[in-house]
Amino acid sequence: MGAKAKLPYAIHMKDDEPFAFAGMWDAWKGWLQSYIIITTDANEVTAPVHNRMPMILKPGDYDRWLSRDPTERPPVDLLRPYDADGMIAHTVDPRVGDVRNNEPGLCEAWTCPPNSA
């Protein structure tokens, strides 16, 4: 790999449990549907990869985020970086970026071979 080559990363929870991103959905004119994932500032785990990260919800906040009921306290307090202590990031095999590669192990921790630099 050249010195300027970017490496893909896998970012996950330390306990390997699934997690949810905060997002929004709307339908315009009855037919056009729009979806977004809300981002926030990067935490210490994601900052080396990018300056923003998806807003990750804790399971206890799912119902509050998804509620459509009017509330005096909108969930804006949830718009913060996820606690970095619960997350892990590591480089993965660069072949993960090619859809023709579909094999176990592509997202395992990977180190660039010394003769590739």
Domain contains 3: no
R_g (Cα) of the chain, nearest Å: 18
Structure tokens at 3: 């010195």
pLDDT at 112: 73
Going by C-beta distance under 8 Å and a sequence separation of 6 or more, which residues neighbour residue 15?
86
| Residues 11-57 pLDDT 10s | 999 999 999 999 999 988 878 999 999 999 999 999 999 999 999 99
pTM (2 decimals)?
0.79
Q: What is the domain range of residue 107? A: 9-116
Q: How many domains does the chain have?
A: 1
Domain contains 2: no
Mean pLDDT of the chain: 89
Domain contains 99: yes
Domain contains 50: yes
Domain contains 1: no
Would you say 110 and 92 are in contact if contact means Cβ atoms under 8 Å apart? Answer: yes
Domain contains 53: yes
CATH number at residue 89: 3.90.1680.10
Domain contains 104: yes
